[in-house]
Structure 1
Amino acid sequence: MKRVTPEAWLQAPGEVLVVGLGKSGTAAAALLARRGFRVTATDERDLDPADPAVAELASLGVELALGGHPAELAHRPWQFVAKSPGIPYHQPFVAELAKMSHVIVTDVEIAGWLEQRPIYAITGSNGKTTTTTLVGEMLKASGMNPIVAGNIGTPVCDVVTKPGDVLVLEVSSFQLEGTATFRPHGAALLNFYPAHLDYHGSYEAYQRAKWKLFANQTPDDVAVLNWDQSLIRDRAGQLAASVRGFSLEGAPFADGVGVIDGELVFVRAGERTPLLPVDHVALPGRHNLQNAAAAAALALAAGASEAAVAHVLRTFQGVEHRLEFVREVAGVRYYNDSKATNPDAARQALRSFPGGIVWIAGGLDRGLSFDSLLPDVAGRVHAAVLLGETREKLRDMLARAGVSSCAFASSMDEAVRAASRMAQPGDVVLLSPACASWDMFPSYEVRGSMFKEAVHRL
């Protein structure tokens, strides 16, 4: 990335380009316009000028180029370009901007220039939303006023001027790819699994984007790392920040949170303080116990009390679309795990139940194999309803796992009705797609909401 000079830009705001007017792009354009930058915003979609978000940008003096990206915009002398995180760098217009040596940043980088409060940021392949929410709840229970934002739903550029003590941010690899100076006071890396390879080009490039979370930290900052993944643990000595670990395998570190003899324990300079028994953690599943340990480690670093951390872990019931219990119908429990947009996330959901699963899965085909799910499907899943582009690949994997009862569905309503016919009392119907939603649904949130609506119609 070309050298970033935010201090000079903030002192003398000039002309900037915003590419993409989704939630984060719109928030970035509005924030920059309010800070005195002369903003041009472009989107491939032909957005309605009467749309409230579009109309607000126009009222702030933002010049709009809608219905496509005019080629001449790539050749203007922008101070910098703010790119919507979801637009890949290989998109032709973005690639042309890069070819012209423009500085291209994302909303997280911009917010970091302007934000004076401590930032605590969470990334990883899976568990980001649950962990981010837990950290916010732990700080709130400790009497603090945290602002929870980022990839979790509220754009970070919308909260830069919002009152609060600290920012707790969920950050994605898409956002981190466009950072150069972003420095969180506390940062957590939850795990690595192959994901978003179509965006980053390779697993190695995906990992490099995630590691940028720690690039600007100093010894005054805290890095929270998954000690049970050697891929992460082995990099601990290369970080400038003070490292804290989290582990489900005995807490083999001097500082962090881990499981020891059935207790979640806070370890500080080798001294151990029990937080609560692991079977008192309200969220089900080993993956959620890992999320709990990570959240506790980061929240304690941010000033949360041990009592508040324990209280939240005892009472927190989960976030929407992540192993969310919907209802029980005729003795069958229905769970919405629409946020499982890759195979590993679906694996964690499958492992949360001993068996009796009717699995609803499938979606956008990103070229990933589902063979890693074989051990978790065999013996747990007895029937499946498959959707989207990957349904035949999933059917083949299920056949190799010994699951012969499979149906295809062309809508979520059809899928839920088919699953309800396959299920017996005591079973679980689990929507955990293992795929992104974009072949059939605008987002995983819409997919999950449609599942819940279909369940309530049963």
Structure 2
Amino acid sequence: MKYNYFGKKILILGIGLTGISCIHFFLKKGVIPKIIDESKNPVFLKKIPKNIPFFLGNLNNKWILEADIIVISPGISSFKPILIHARSLGIEIISDIELFSREAIFPIISITGTNGKSTVATMVEKIAKKSGYKVCLGGNIGVPILNMLNQKVDFYILELSSFQLENTFTLKSKIAVVLNISEDHINRYPEGFKQYKKIKLSLYQRAEICIVNVKNKLHDVIQTNKSKKYITFGTQNSDYQVHYNHKNVILSRKNKKILDISQTLLWGAHNHQNALVALAISDSIKCPRHCIITTLQKFSSLPHRLQIIHRKKGIDWINDSKSTNVNSTKVALNSLNTSGTIRLLLGGDSKSANFNILKDDFEKFKIKIYCFGKDGKNISQICKKKSIYFDTLQQAMKLIIKEAISGDTVLLSPGCSSLDQFSSFEERGNIFMKITKDIAS
């Protein structure tokens, strides 16, 4: 179906990279949109073309209710009362992913999940390129997705967040995978976790090949639909498996060995699973096995994701600032192999998540917890005897520097959004790395 936007009143919410890409999308269609940003001084204000009307400081209700189509940036909740009202009046509210879906002519590989989606998307991109495919990676990573439309590719690889999927309705994926679902962004959704899960699983609705995590109990999406193909992972009875044999970790397909993890740079059960899904996706687009294996053997963790940044005097310093939800912290703790004390930096904006799920881990590990940020005080109450609270990450690290001894692991895995005190998880991780390097010098 060809969409015609000519003559429509288009409103874009958010003057970020997504919003700027939407402006240029509509200008190419001969449509001049309006744009709103809740900030009084958005970073990309100077990138707005001079003929574009804009409004700053709050959501302009008049502009919203006059629009035919509203394109909403992922950082703005679509559950704001004015937007719920607009939707009830028949005003169409969509994402940039929806705009892309309506225009894309090449096959799409879509990847979402609470944790691991950036890593899997990057693995698949590298394997596909090694295999001779022309691919473009975008969405929640890489370039704004609308900028990919003018590129001729064999596959688009999309890393998608729940925020982007909220207002995406016609996405047809060649391959879709929901890696895992655990509590995250619960404060965003009026109906809580149930609504968050439903939005994630919507990725499968129009997909041709569905790669499904059976262990995470997501197999209820599997139907007797002959137009879809289902591939499973997560258990020993799945199509793709991780086998733990003594000290060896083996990736297999239908019990046939494909890769020994000891031949890679990957560590931690989460990365074994990430590599397994990348293998399943790559098999599905017929990448040669030797390209898959050699790429996974050379792949190392992305920045800010369980990244060992320093080793000195027997102390490991690990940057896992991308840990923005409680389950990712749980994964990080259970990935460590240390006999010393784990010195965990935990805190930020918890997004109303339940941190009590870490209680058993706090009890079983030799651990001291350094809580900080907006919700750090509340989090520190979960295990009072092992926790201490600070206003900031920097203050917490000053004490860690004095207390850490040989054999210890200092782990920044905050389990929270960084936006209470930092511009992004990258800034939080970079500050942690800077302080660590200052210590080293």
Q: TM-score, normalised by structure 1?
A: 0.88
Whether 1:426 aligns to 2:420 is no
Determine the structure 2 residue equivalent to 1:7. Answer: 2
Shift of 1:316: 0.8
Instruction: Quote the Cα distance in structure 2 between the aligned partners of 1:105 and 1:189.
Output: 21
CA contact (8 A) 1:407 1:418 kept: no
Matches within 5 A, 1:87-166: 87-166=76-155
Percent identity of paired positions between Structure 1 and Structure 2: 25
**Separation in structure 2 between the aligned mates of residue 390 and residue 317 of structure 1, nearest angstrom:** 32
Residues 105-144 of structure 1: CA deviation (Å, up to 9, x unaligned): 1111111111111110111111111111111111122122
Return the alpha-carbon distance in structure 1 between the equivalents of residues 299 and 7 of structure 2. Answer: 44
| Partner in structure 1 of residue 72 of structure 2 | 83
**Alpha-carbon distance in 1 for matches of 2:374, 2:244:** 43
Is contact 1:354–1:380 with CA below 8 Å preserved after alignment?
no
Question: 2: distance between equivalents of 1:14 and 1:126?
Answer: 38
Question: Structure 1's 260 and 342: CA in aligned 2 closer, same or farther, altered over 3 A?
Answer: closer
In structure 1, C-alpha distance between the alignment counterparts of 2:209 and 2:243, rounded to whole Å: 21
- Match in the other structure for 1:410: 391
Residue 375 of structure 1, aligned match among 335, 340, 360: 360
Secondary structure of the 1:451 match is helix
| Distance in 1, Cα, partners of 2:258 & 2:292 | 8
- Counting matched residue pairs gives 432
The Cα of 1:31 is off from its aligned counterpart by: 1.9
Q: Which runs of 5+ in 2 are unaligned?
A: none
> C-alpha deviations, 1:238-260, integer Å up to 9, x for none?
6652111122x32x24x445548
Q: What are the within-5 Å matches in structure 2 for residues 23-422 of structure 1?
A: 23-47=17-41, 53-59=44-50, 61-78=51-68, 80-201=69-190, 202-217=192-207, 221-230=208-217, 232-237=218-223, 240-247=227-234, 249-250=235-236, 252-253=237-238, 255-256=239-240, 258-259=242-243, 262-267=249-254, 273-355=256-338, 356-399=341-384, 403-404=385-386, 406-422=387-403
Distance 1:394 1:318 in 2: 28
User: What's the secondary structure of 1:438's corresponding residue?
Assistant: coil
One-letter amino acid of the structure 2 residue matched with residue 82 of structure 1: V
The 1:92/1:26 distance shift into structure 2, 3 A limit, reads: farther
Q: 2: distance between equivalents of 1:118 and 1:349?
A: 34
Unaligned runs of 5+ residues in structure 1 are 1-5
Q: Following TM superposition, by how much is the alpha carbon of 1:285 offset from its aligned partner in structure 2, in angstroms?
A: 0.6
Q: Aligned pair in 2 of structure 1 residues 64, 146: CA closer, same or farther (>3 Å)?
A: same
Spell out structure 1 runs of 4+ moving beyond 3 A.
53-56, 255-262
Q: Give the counterpart letter for 2:395 in structure 1.
A: E
Contact 2:184 2:351 in 1 (8 A): no
Deviation at 1:447, TM superposition (A): 1.0
Q: 2: CA distance between counterparts of 1:381 and 1:305?
A: 44
Alignment deviations for residues 189-233 of structure 1 (CA, whole Å, 9 cap, x no partner): 11111211111221111111111111123xxx2111112122x02
Structure 1 counterpart of 2:94, one-letter code: V
**One-letter identity of the residue aligned with 1:236:** I
Looking at structure 1, the residues matched to 418 and 332 of structure 2 have their Cα atoms a distance apart, in angstroms, of: 17
| CA offsets 1:365-405 (integer angstroms, 9 cap, x no match) | 32222111122222324222211122222222223xxx53x
Give a deviation string over 1:256-307, Cα, whole Å, max 9, x none.
455486421234xxxx643211333422111111111111111221232211
Tell me the distance in 1 between the aligned counterparts of 2:142 and 2:291.
25
Deviations 1:33-52 (A, max 9, x none): 2232221111111236xx6x
The 1-side partners of 2:8 and 2:362 are apart by: 55
Q: Distance in 2 between matches of 1:238 and 1:210?
A: 21
Q: Deviations over 1:140-195 (max 9, x none)?
A: 22122221111124321222223533211110111111011111111111111121
Which residue identity is paired with 2:16? G
Structure 1 vs Structure 2 CA RMSD: 2.1
**Contact 2:325–2:350, Cα closer than 8 Å, also in 1:** no
